């Protein structure tokens, strides 16, 4: 499931959510995390990395954990 970037998150509602089929796949390593923002108590975002063709670990970006809060700082 994906949420439109410009759509607000509304608890219990599917507004702004899209069902997307994944055509391309890849594997990422969790290389860290961010501190929670605002009134969140656990994780902010997971930091992801991948190995390039030379075997070097490269930063790929960050993603929401979806737990426990439904949003994060990206």
What are the DSSP calls for 24-68, one per residue? S----EEEEE----TT--S--EEEEEEE-TTS-EEEEEEEE--SS
What is the chain's pLDDT, residue by residue, as a tens digit (74 residues)? 677 777 776 666 666 677 788 788 888 999 998 887 766 667 788 899 999 999 999 999 988 766 554 455 44
Residue 45, pLDDT score: 84
User: Any idea where the domains of the chain sit in the sequence?
Assistant: 25-74
Left if phi > 0, otherwise alpha if psi is -120 to 50, otherwise beta: which for 66? left
- What is this structure's pTM? 0.57
């Amino acid at each position: 499931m994906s949420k439109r970037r410009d759509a607000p998150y509304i608890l219990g509602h599917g507004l702004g959510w899209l069902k997307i089929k994944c055509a391309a796949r890849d594997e990422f390593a969790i290389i860290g995390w961010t501190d929670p923002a605002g009134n969140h108590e656990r994780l902010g975002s997971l930091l992801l990395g991948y190995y390039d063709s030379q075997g070097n670990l490269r930063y790929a970006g960050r993603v929401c954990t979806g737990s426990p809060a439904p949003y994060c700082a990206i």
